[in-house]
Structure 1
């Protein structure tokens, strides 16, 4: 009997470890299958997971990058399992069936099922209640995405665009002129389609100015001083497509991650969360999911968002400065100026035509 208890004492830690940690090959397998299914149009499982990751804040700066590489983000990985478990009504057999439907290897399914059921066994009631609330506003999966482009792919696309003809014909190339000088048909030309890569995500992976030059060409990248809102120098920064509507500032901040800043509009860049300079205040409130707080204008850090009030942009590394276009009415503008904090749903702000003046996205290395 004593030997039996000794054996049990030795085996219990091993069993518990197996139930509380997944091997790297299983993590890689699940991550790969989620990425593969996320590329399928209208995939219900990964669509559900992605939307829940976004709403919960576990998606990080960019939902697509996160879903395509869950193995690199342990928090998002566990959250993805939790939401798949929730999708399966916290039913272990249904959860196993869904894992199999995604094409996971047989030796991955049961360890994941055990790991997930044990990890979230105390949250079943809350998860089911959250699912009911979630489905009340969920409009269905938005999948069929492409993996984020690599630095090399961006460079190749931009080089190909640079080598393309400046214009193309879009109609008959001949023209017939009558005796009276009227032209029956004229040559019709139009600018060539812009095939440059305007995806922002690869820029968060760039680590050197040389990589920027490789991606966008030496003529489209310049160096300048990075300046904060107080006009103080904060190191060096690099501009892509300087002095154009598509100007984008890239600042390398070491271990703190890259900072991408947009302050020109209209811009062709596909920015995170779809937020761009020039966007109206109402759009920003909608993206955040609730009103937020900002510093009043004409004061220290005027127009800067000071708190997202726990909204979708909380903790996402999004720094925004707003400006008012209609400042001619002192009665309205005075309400929004000075040393104070404003709520974004303040009635006066609607009349002031407040828009995004600049938006910066910061991502950790």
Structure 2
């Protein structure tokens, strides 16, 4: 009996480790299969994952490159697994079924299922609530993408055997039926608003590549664009801007700066645009702190550059060309509001800011 307990004491840490960390071959396998399926048109699983990565900000500025290279970013890979688990209604058996529909190697499925279920077991309620909100505006998968030039063509991992490759090919032939069935299973209670009715392209990535107003007109039509004098977030005149879908919730301002890149500014909400890092006007301060990964500094309200983020404090948005102006919705308590107004900077985690219901008023993205 004593030997049994000694053996158990030795094995328990190993078992725990296996449940809290994925081996590199398993990571490579999952990354390769997601990359492969992302190239298939209307793939429900990878389409769902990509959209959630975009909305949460976990996908970064270039969602395509991110999805094609999950193995290079552990945090984003974890987020992808979380959203696949959410897609599966946080049901372990359904999650395993979806992993198999991606044609992962058999010895990859169980470790991923165990790792993910353990990692997010405390977030099930929040994930299911988020899925309901997500499906209310989700218009379906946008897949069928080509790997970016900076990413090597997706292929099975080096350890994949000929038999596994054959299995993957068989699964690909069956996946239209499998994903359609799974989508129906997971969206039984999807509201009517989730029906695909809007065929416009809400991706902002192509806008960073444009260099002239004529190219903008070619993409969106002359009737959907107007020219205005531009004003930066500090309130200073800043040349001219071209506005897509003016005077609507989806209004987006574009400023051209030649080969120096473009500036895209969002000041309206709710908006359908898939903005970089998933950051939009109307988002709460808490979300911005989460995306940045740490608190940052804000210029005091009601003063020069009031409400503008002055320093990202070395967070994820440092040096990424993101300029944000915040506003406080609840300003009725002078003593509370005075804590964050005037010629000073305040930390974003100051308790007063939460009570003031601070949200993003405007956000500008400058391409490199």
State the TM-score, normalized to the length of structure 2: 0.52
Q: Does the 8 Å CA contact 1:149/1:202 hold for their aligned counterparts?
A: no
> In the alignment, is residue 225 of structure 1 matched against residue 225 of structure 2?
no
State the TM-score, normalized to the length of structure 1: 0.53
Deviation per CA, 1:221-270, whole angstroms, max 9, x where unpaired? 01111112443322211000001111000111123211110001111111
Q: Does the 8 Å CA contact 2:208/2:367 hold for their aligned counterparts?
A: yes
- 1:349 shift after superposition: 0.3
Give the Cα separation in 2 of the matches to 1:81 and 1:244. Answer: 36
CA pair 38-296 structure 1, distance change in 2 beyond 3 A: same
Q: Superposed, which structure 2 residues align to 1:30-41 within 5 Å?
A: 36=36, 39=39
> In the alignment, is residue 344 of structure 1 matched against residue 348 of structure 2?
yes
Give the Cα separation in 2 of the matches to 1:334 and 1:293. Answer: 17
Give the Cα separation in 1 of the matches to 2:327 and 2:275. Answer: 20
Which secondary structure state, in structure 2, belongs to the residue aligned with residue 245 of structure 1? coil
| Corresponding residue number in structure 2 for 1:354 | 358
- 1:194 shift after superposition: 2.1
Which secondary structure state, in structure 1, belongs to the residue aligned with residue 352 of structure 2? helix
| Corresponding residue number in structure 1 for 2:278 | 274
Out of 228, 248, 254, the residue aligned to residue 250 of structure 1 is 254
Q: Does the 8 Å CA contact 2:39/2:146 hold for their aligned counterparts?
A: no
Q: Aligned residues, how many?
A: 228
Structure showing greater relative contact order (alpha-carbon pairs closer than 8 Å, 6 or more residues apart): 2
Deviation per CA, 1:137-190, whole angstroms, max 9, x where unpaired? 799xxx99553899xxxxxxxxxxxxxxxxxxxxxxxxxxxxxxxxxxxxxxxx
Which secondary structure state, in structure 1, belongs to the residue aligned with residue 215 of structure 2? helix
Give the Cα separation in 2 of the matches to 1:60 and 1:198. Answer: 16
| Corresponding residue number in structure 2 for 1:334 | 338
- 1:273 shift after superposition: 1.4
Which secondary structure state, in structure 2, belongs to the residue aligned with residue 251 of structure 1? strand
| Corresponding residue number in structure 1 for 2:208 | 204
Give the Cα separation in 1 of the matches to 2:344 and 2:294. Answer: 20
Q: Return 5+ residue gaps in structure 1 as ranges.
A: 1-31, 71-75, 84-100, 103-135, 151-190
Give the Cα separation in 2 of the matches to 1:149 and 1:223. Answer: 35
Q: Does the 8 Å CA contact 1:289/1:311 hold for their aligned counterparts?
A: yes
Give the Cα separation in 2 of the matches to 1:206 and 1:65. Answer: 19
Give the Cα separation in 1 of the matches to 2:212 and 2:322. Answer: 22
| Corresponding residue number in structure 2 for 1:147 | 145
Q: CA RMSD in A?
A: 4.1
Q: Return 5+ residue gaps in structure 2 as ranges.
A: 1-31, 76-102, 105-117, 122-140, 149-194
Larger Rg: 1
> In the alignment, is residue 194 of structure 1 matched against residue 198 of structure 2?
yes
| Corresponding residue number in structure 1 for 2:302 | 298
Q: Does the 8 Å CA contact 2:60/2:276 hold for their aligned counterparts?
A: no
Larger mean Cα displacement after TM superposition, 313-322 or 346-355: 313-322
- 1:61 shift after superposition: 2.6
| Corresponding residue number in structure 1 for 2:61 | 61
Which secondary structure state, in structure 2, belongs to the residue aligned with residue 336 of structure 1? coil
Q: Does the 8 Å CA contact 2:233/2:325 hold for their aligned counterparts?
A: no
